[in-house]
Amino acid sequence: MVLSSAQRSFLVKDQVIGPIVINALLNGGLAWLALRHHAPVTMGGDPGIARDVLGTLFILPFLVALIANRLAKHGAQSKGLEPFRFGIEVPAWVRRLPSGRYARAALLGLVALVVLGPVLIGLLKALGVEAMSLGAFVVFKAVLAGALAGVVTPVSALYALGELASEQGARYGRTKVAPAE
């Protein structure tokens, strides 16, 4: 991937650091609000750690992907960034994601759930976690949400910015950039 310094800065600041901080604070706060009367939070309870983790693994990437799609395009246009080009700045595995926003968001959520769900639940069980204090759970939830956002947002942004380049090329009579393999 060959990115200009402006593109790289946009991806790191606006599509990685910002979403990590925002999602960590937002999800930590929501966890506290929702569970402040349910402490301690047990692994299998309702509400519980396992249910919350599995729900978060699907819902957060799904919503982040939808939001990142719009914000990345708007942010790039408002900052006057040169469009990203499929095949040059956008890696092949990102280009292979579904073209529809909702399908792409659902796929990212499903991949996070299927890949990370068993790992996180298994790790918590292996560590002997049966319950967490409210404070520990809020921190856990904030870290999980920040980490997910830090991975999903740049992937969604790269795809959206590649789409933007294709849309702009079509608007100005240029053909789409051929994918580089």
Q: What tens digit of pLDDT does each residue of 106-145 get?
A: 999 999 999 999 999 999 999 999 999 999 999 999 999 9
Instruction: Report yes or no: 68 and 153 within 8 Å, Cβ to Cβ.
Output: yes
Instruction: Report yes or no: 73 and 161 within 8 Å, Cβ to Cβ.
Output: yes
Helix %, strand %, coil % of the chain (to 5) = 70, 5, 25
Residue 85, pLDDT score: 64
Residue 98, pLDDT score: 77
Give percent of the chain with pLDDT exceeding 70: 85
Q: Could you give phi then psi for residue 86, rounded to 5 degrees?
A: -55, 135
Mean pLDDT of 19-42: 93
